[in-house]
Amino acid sequence: MKPFCMSLLLVIPFLTLAQNRDVELYTEKLAEMMTLFQSNISSEDKCEELWHDVRDYKEEIDEFRSKGEFTRGDSETLLGLSSAADMFADYFICVGGWNCYPIKKGRFFKASDFFDDVQISYVSKDVYCIDIIEYRLGDFKAYFLINNTTKNYRASYSLAQTNAKRSGNRGLAAGAVAIMIDNREEPISNYKIVDILCQEY
């Protein structure tokens, strides 16, 4: 099995029991999209394209599953692939960065675990109403806001580095993660947090 096919075993326990060749091809197709995401993470356009691809893939696999008669292994594998595709659709749009779409932190960390080279660390934790994490995958680097509370917040943030300032705001439901800044257009090294203010909604 290819590396990402192997990692899919984490969420699809019946994958090794799949007997239908089409089911194997669907597994390989999802693994290929994960590989393309890792290789093209620095391109917002490519991430958006892959988001559309994985959504179409989920619809296709759901239709395929509804029309056929499968062994238990194949049926459970297709169900697992559909669930994984739904998770990666959220992940691609969240990390892809083109619309700052927030997702639940459980999904964010679970999807991140599929990529061996992803490095995640806290930049700020339990200091402000919202925490900040640093995300790295290859040359790509980003800061994410993470709401580790049980409250829904609109967070306004202000960051600064030598000769540069960044500010913005994000709506974050309880337990959600959303991208804050990334290095797709310019380096983001040595940013310091000036302030984070939250308004509950």
DSSP per residue, the chain: --HHHHHGGGT-TTGGG---HHHHHHHHHHHHHHHHHHHTTT-HHHHHHHHHHHHHHHHHHHHHHHH----HHHHHHHHHHHHHHHHHHHHHHHHH-SS---EEHHHHHHHHTT-TT-EEEEEE-SSSSSEEEEEEETTEEEEEEE--SSS-EEEEEEEEETTEEEEEEEEE-TTEEEEEEESSSS--TT-EEEEEEEEE-
pLDDT tens for the chain, 201 residues long, are 345 555 555 445 444 445 577 888 898 899 999 999 999 999 999 999 999 999 999 999 999 988 878 888 888 888 999 999 999 999 999 999 766 778 999 999 999 998 989 999 999 999 999 999 999 999 999 999 999 999 999 999 998 887 778 899 999 999 999 999 999 988 887 788 899 999 999
Residue of 79, 78, 81 whose CA lies nearest to 34: 81
pLDDT in tens, 22-37: 888 898 899 999 999 9
CA pair distance 79, 16, nearest whole angstrom: 14
pLDDT at site 14:
45
pLDDT at site 13:
47
pLDDT in tens, 182-200: 999 888 877 888 999 999 9
pLDDT at site 192:
85
pLDDT at site 191:
80
Tokens of 185: 């257009």
Domains of the chain: 3-96 (no CATH), 117-200 (2.60.40)
pLDDT at site 162:
75
